[in-house]
Amino acid sequence: MARKYVPHTTELCENSLKKFKSLVGTVDKLLIITGAGISTESGIPDYRSKDVGLYTKTALEPIYFQDFMKSKKCRQRYWSRSYLNWPRFAQALPNFNHYALSKWEAANKFHWLITQNVDGLHLKAGSKMITELHGNALQVKCTSCEYIETRQTYQDRLNYANPGFKEQFVSPGQQELDADTALPLGSEQGFKIPECLNCGGLMKTDVTLFGENLNTDKIKVCGKKVNECNGVLTLGTSLEVLSGYQIVNHAHMQNKPIFIVNIGPTRADQMATMKLDYRISDVLKEM
């Protein structure tokens, strides 16, 4: 199932890999930035990869923070889909890439890890020197009082509030909805969204939506780590999201080398000291 979401790529060129390994090896304070591509081998699709990305394969569009806050229909669409996809997301396990970086950390092979992912798989693999730039989808936070509960606890509340909803879309014997399945238009009507247990406010997964401000403390940490590092390695990100791109651009403006591993083009290709268009696990196994 995991391979379903991994983009097609060419075979490794050993000479290119040796050169890449040698160049990255000269950086003693390496900053690593990971994106959705590092988790595709765990069965979680990325967003923009040709033929397999969530936005390229379906009619799904990102939900913007402003729409989430002002539109009940938008919140119903967000939470109904999250409710149906949660079992698959919750069961996702770290893959070789996550464990490899955890081992790199233990061996002091890099300075800091910044992930744009919200799946929590780096933490599950044991990473500690990490900033989850866009939050963590394994918890839910009130948009008013910031009360926090686990995503699984909130799933139980969603399940209680919406008896029979899942059965409309998930056939008997099927555990959950495929990650790239779009719900029929209007199917979210009537979906009930539990309020905050503390103040009755709106609950949102503790992740940064499009159009939402990033956590200022995390921005400061990332800026500090860029200044401290002397090279950047990006893994599995197109850097289309501005926050990730700005980190790389910040390092580039300081004349620090940029190394990229990603299947397909990225926003920072012109900045790259060297880039490999290969599967991340194939590269990390050789490094």
60 labelled as ligand-binding? no
Q: Are 177 and 85 in contact (CB under 8 A)?
A: yes
71 is known to lie in a ligand binding site: no
134 tagged catalytic: yes
51 is in an annotated binding site: yes
CA distances from 222 to 2, 111, 133, 214 (A): 30, 12, 8, 11
- The answer to whether 102 is annotated as binding is no
- The answer on whether 6 is annotated among ligand-binding residues is no
Q: Say if residue 202 carries a ligand binding annotation.
A: no
Q: Which region, left, alpha or beta, applies to residue 123 given φ > 0 means left and ψ of -120 to 50 means alpha?
A: alpha
The answer to whether 67 is annotated as binding is: no
33 labelled ligand-binding = no
Residue 145 among known ligand-binding residues = yes
Of 212, 285, 224, 243, residue with least CA distance to 33: 243
Q: Is 118 marked as a binding-site residue?
A: yes
* CB-CB contact of 28 with 108 (8 Å): no
Which residue is associated with the tokens 């780590």?
A: 225
CA distance 39 to 41: 5
DSSP 12: P
**In the block, which residue shows the tokens 């139980």?**
156
Contact (Cβ atoms closer than 8 angstroms) between residue 242 and residue 257: no
Catalytic residue among 98, 111, 122, 134: 134
Residue 81 known to bind ligand: no
Q: Residue positions in the annotated binding site?
A: 35-55, 116-119, 142, 145, 196, 199, 236-238, 262-264, 280
Q: Residue positions in the annotated binding site for Zn(2+)?
A: 142, 145, 196, 199
Q: Residue positions in the annotated binding site for NAD(+)?
A: 35-55, 116-119, 236-238, 262-264, 280
Which residues are marked as active site? 134
